[in-house]
């Protein structure tokens, strides 16, 4: 990665070295895939640690991670392809080329939720307990994964002349913006936002372990849903390559829904003071948490 520093504070520009990390003969390792793999490994390790701190068997997280990968990655790709079908219909073989980019996080979340619901039902474990243990890892993984967009020179914003900016090579620019060189580094904006949400979730998690009032099951996931969606809502408005439904940006519509659902869930927990509907009883939740 090339990083040029100017005289002004926070004055820099990013230039991707390209999507390939290393190539050994016929074997090509791309940054996008490497970052996804790294995010998964770090996420599983972190969630196992959090499970131990909540008296939950960490092996449960190991088993869940397999379900999440199987559910999330194909769903993320399918979500993206469906909204970009006019492009992929011309070249169906590229549908499976996920190393080239084109994985929608909202699709991954939906696929992961479905996989976790099935897993929780089969294992007789609280779905919301699982989501609380996974939410910090999820948002940290998103912060890491966004750098895959940087290496692929994708998911960038509108042209800008701000001191911080992202160089996009001519072949990656939209035709109508071919004369512009520098764009908003929206990958960076979202990565930094995700790190702030991660810090918030970890603070809430450990606050309940330091003698503070224990947070209710499902709180971390609801905070994640609302906080991440809030950041994605405004960042998406800067992008030039949003998935569209007519004149509407799909990610912004889904983000609005995420904000509403997250806030509604928190209101249900702390204003109505009722547990979230779950696949198991609250007695089973307490048992899994070792109470």
Phi, psi of 57 (to 5 degrees): -60, 115
Q: Please return the burial class of 180, using the count of CB atoms within 10 Å of its CB with bins 0-12, 13-18 and 19+.
A: middle
Closest CA to 100 of 113, 114, 115, 87: 87
Contacting residues for 134 by C-beta, under 8 A, at least 6 apart? 43, 47, 61, 64, 68, 116, 221
Sign of the CA dihedral 181, 187, 188, 193?
Answer: positive
Tokens read off for 265: 């869930």
- Nearest CA to 191 out of 244, 256, 134, 145 is that of 145
pTM: 0.88
Q: What is the mean pLDDT of residues 159-186?
A: 94
More confident residue, 22 or 7: 22
Q: If you count them, how many residues does the chain have?
A: 291
Q: Is 246 helix (H, G, I), strand (E, B) or coil?
A: coil
Distance CA 27, CA 23 (A): 6
* Arithmetic mean of pLDDT over the chain: 88
The pLDDT of residue 290 is above 70: no
Average pLDDT over residues 32-48: 94
pLDDT in tens, 108-155: 999 999 999 999 999 999 999 999 999 999 999 999 999 999 999 998
Q: Are 119 and 67 in contact (CB under 8 A)?
A: yes
């Amino acid at each position: 990665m090339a990083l040029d520093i100017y005289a002004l504070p926070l004055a820099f520009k990013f230039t991707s070295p390209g999507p390939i990390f290393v190539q050994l003969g016929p074997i090509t390792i791309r940054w996008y895939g490497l970052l996804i793999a790294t995010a998964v490994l770090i996420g599983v390790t972190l969630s196992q640690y959090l499970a131990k701190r909540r008296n939950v068997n960490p092996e449960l997280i190991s088993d869940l991670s397999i379900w999440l990968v199987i559910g999330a990655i194909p769903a993320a790709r399918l979500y993206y392809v469906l909204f970009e079908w006019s492009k992929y219909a011309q070249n169906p073989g590229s549908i499976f080329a996920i190393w080239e980019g084109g994985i929608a996080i909202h699709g991954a979340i939906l696929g992961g939720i479905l996989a976790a619901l099935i897993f929780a039902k089969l294992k007789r474990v609280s779905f919301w307990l699982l989501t609380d243990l996974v939410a910090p890892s999820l948002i940290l993984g998103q912060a890491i994964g966004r750098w895959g967009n940087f290496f692929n020179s994708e998911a960038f914003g509108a042209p800008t002349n701000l001191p911080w900016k992202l160089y996009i090579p001519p072949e990656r620019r939209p035709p109508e913006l071919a004369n512009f060189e520098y764009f908003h580094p929206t990958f960076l904006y979202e990565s930094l936002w995700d790190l702030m949400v991660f810090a918030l979730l970890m603070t809430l998690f450990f606050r309940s372990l330091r003698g503070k009032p224990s947070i209710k099951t499902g709180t971390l996931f609801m905070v994640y849903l609302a906080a991440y969606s809030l950041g994605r809502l405004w960042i998406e408005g800067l992008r030039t390559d949003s998935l569209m439904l007519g004149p509407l940006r799909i990610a912004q519509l889904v983000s609005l829904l995420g904000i509403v659902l997250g806030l509604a869930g928190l209101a249900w927990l702390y204003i109505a003071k009722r547990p979230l509907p779950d696949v198991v009883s609250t007695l089973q939740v307490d048992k899994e948490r070792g109470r």
